[in-house]
Chain A
Amino acid sequence: MRWFFLILFAIAVMLAVGIGPRGEKFTKPPLYVFPDMDWQYKLKFQKPSDFFADGQGARRPVDGTIPLGYDLPLTEDDFPVGDTYYRTGLFGDFYGDGMPDAVAVDEKLLMRGKERYQIYCTACHGTSGNGQGVVSKYWQIPPTANLLDPRVAGLPDGQIFWTITHGKGLMGPYNGAVPIEDRWAITAYVRVLQGAAAAK
């Protein structure tokens, strides 16, 4: 009996060492103790799928269609109906000025614009819009546009919207991350920043 308990104790110690404490860092995929129905054969967000030829689970809408309830980042070429100024910032080949009819400029829109500006724009353009964001503090890259500059203040609203959508110079396009209504909200908020700077 004594031997039995000694061996049991030895096994317990070995198990404890083998299992290790909870929360220990490891890089191999986690063990699934009960994997029942954990992985179902269905389309999942941002996951590959062997069902489609290109191997991607994410699908584009069928050409010429828009899913119900969605406002896709489309250009006029993709879907040439509706309020094109709202979606492009352009009238024909020219930048339009002023907010599109679909966008009501009120406090709610400006607060939304402020929030979105501080998420997507401040890293480079700075919280105040002066082009001295945190990026310029750490890295030597060509200077970021100072949004408070009279040159930028003089640009039509449509061009600001277009620039957020497609980028300009070193700036990348933000049409994927920022939906259309938020781009107009940011445009309106940039006007607020410019007004505040001009009033100083």
Chain B
Amino acid sequence: MGNIFPRWLNFLPLQVLIALGGVGTLIVAVIWYSFTPKYTRVGYEPQQPIPFDHSLHAGQLGMDCRYCHSNVEESSHSNIPNAQVCWNCHGPGKVKSDSPKLAVLRQAMDTNSDGYTGEPIRWVQIHETPDYAYFNHSAHVNRGVSCVECHGKVNEMAVVSHQKPLSMGFCLDCHRNPESRLRPIDEITNLDWTAHDLDRDEFYAYLAGKTGKSADELKAEGPEKIDQEALGAYLKDAWNIHPPQDCAACHR
């Protein structure tokens, strides 16, 4: 009676284990890399009904974000402008009013145009939090968090794309360490601003108006060179900023 099982079968359990390990590693790697907003959302660049060029309007012309997104300081929602706002500059006899790119705008606004519908322009939302997360724009822009922290340098984008993951971890990074993001409120919409642009005297004069201490007093206490961390620490203290980290801060 010979051997029923060949010799190589002794190694089969080990081989199966190694194979399962290899397959498992591959599956985990794929999920780890791609089941995150860093992969699924960053880079989203939908085609809009009108190819509005932010790098032209906000960059080259230097228009303030709030010219169009006018409710951002008052409302939890940063509004997409109504067609009237576009029409203020692109109406008949004004800038590029005959451009074929603006056909959708004319259909919404110009009763004399071909195919006038009066329908709102259906802009495609790019940055979107889930319906159970309640992000409040006004709470952030009125406390020194710039547009650029979540939306990237929109003033350099010819076509706006999703730049930051806007995942919950992304929110918490900043809520745990707000010093690295806070800036003076009048620089909120200046997307190219950095803390090094800040003049020391100007900064303390500005802060004096907010805190009730005199500028010289603050200057004596303050650091020699203003970098983002020092500025952020000051603003956090001066404005009594304590970003909530409990669930109910954003979810209700």
Contacts and interface: CB of A to CB of B under 8 A. Distances in A.
Contacts of B74: 179
A28 B40 CA distance: 11
A141 interface: yes
A17 interface: no
A25 interface: yes
Contacts of B85: 176-177
Contact of A22 (B39, B70, B88): B39
A32 B44 CA distance: 13
Helix, strand, loop or mixed for chain B's interface?
A: loop
A81 interface: no
Interface stretch (A84-92, A116-124, A148-156, A189-197): A116-124
A171 B131 contact: no
Contacts of A173: 84, 88
Contacts of A8: 19, 22-23, 26
B96 A139 contact: yes
Interface size on B, as a range, is: 35 or more
A40 B131 contact: yes
A44 B128 CA distance: 12
Interface string A15-27: 1000100111111
B202 to A, nearest CB: 15
B135 to A, nearest CB: 11
A56 to B, nearest CB: 7
B67 A123 contact: yes
A45 to B, nearest CB: 4
Contacts of A80: none
Interface size on A, as a range, is: 35 or more
Interface string B80-106: 111011011101011110000000000
A27 B46 CA distance: 4
B5 interface: no
B91 A12 contact: no
B213 interface: no
A178 interface: yes
A135 B43 contact: no
Nearest to A12: B26
Contact of B91 (A29, A40, A138, A170): A170
B15 A22 contact: no
B63 A42 contact: no
B67 A27 contact: no
B67 A119 contact: yes
Contact of B45 (A26, A39, A142, A172): A26
A26 B63 contact: no
B61 interface: yes
Contacts of B96: 139
Contacts of A97: none
Contacts of B79: 45-46
Contacts of A23: 38, 42-43
A45 B67 contact: no
Contacts of B46: 27-29
A19 B67 contact: no
A25 B120 CA distance: 27
Interface of B: 15, 18-19, 22-23, 26, 29-30, 33-35, 38-47, 61-64, 66-67, 70, 74-75, 77, 79-82, 84-85, 87-89, 91, 93-96, 120, 130-132, 161-162, 186
Given A28-B46, A38-B132, 4 more contacts: A4-B22, A12-B29, A141-B93, A173-B84
3 tightest A-B CB contacts, nearest first: A172-B88, A45-B77, A40-B131
27 contacts: A8-B23, A12-B26, A19-B33, A22-B39, A22-B42, A24-B43, A25-B43, A26-B43, A27-B45, A30-B41, A30-B44, A32-B40, A37-B131, A38-B130, A38-B131, A45-B79, A118-B64, A123-B61, A123-B63, A135-B89, A141-B95, A142-B93, A172-B84, A172-B87, A172-B89, A176-B82, A177-B85
